[in-house]
Amino acid sequence: MSKIIIKNSSSLMSKCFILFVLFLGLKLAKVITWSWWWVTAPLWIPWSIIIAMIAIPFFIAGVALFIAGMIFLIAWLRGKTF
C-alpha cells in the first residue's frame, strides 16, 4: 500500500491563487457582481507590490542623482568648483 502525502503550502502565492479561484467561482455563479479587476486582484496585486518594492528605490536613487547633477551643473555654470 502506498501512502500519498499532501504537503500544505503556506506561500503567499498559493493563498492568493486559492483566493482567486474562490472569487472566480463566485463571479461565475453570479454571487458577486464585482468587476473582473477585483476578481483577478489576488493574482496581480502581490506582483505589483513586489515590482514597486524593487522599482521605488531605483526611482529615488535616480531622482537623487538628477538633483545632484543639477547642483553640480549650476555650480559649474557659475564657475564654482567643489
The model's pLDDT over 25-74, given as tens digits with 9 standing for 90+, comes to: 999 999 999 999 999 999 999 899 999 999 999 999 999 999 999 999 99
Find the radius of gyration of the CA atoms of the chain: 25
50 occurs within a structural domain: yes
5 located within any domain: no
Q: Kindly state the cell numbers that stand for 29.
A: 455563479
- In a domain, residue 3? The reply is no
Q: Which residues contact 17 (CB under 8 A, 6 or more apart)?
A: 42, 43
Q: Is residue 64 part of a domain?
A: yes
Rounded to two decimals, what is the model's pTM? 0.61
Residue ranges of the alpha helices (H) in the chain? 12-28, 36-39, 41-77
CB 42 within 8 A of CB 24: no
Range of the domain at 58: 12-77
In a domain, 4, yes or no: no
- Tally of structural domains, the chain: 1
Q: Is residue 39 part of a domain?
A: yes
| 38 found inside a domain | yes
Q: Which residue is it, cell 474562490?
A: 22
Q: Is the pLDDT of residue 9 over 70?
A: no
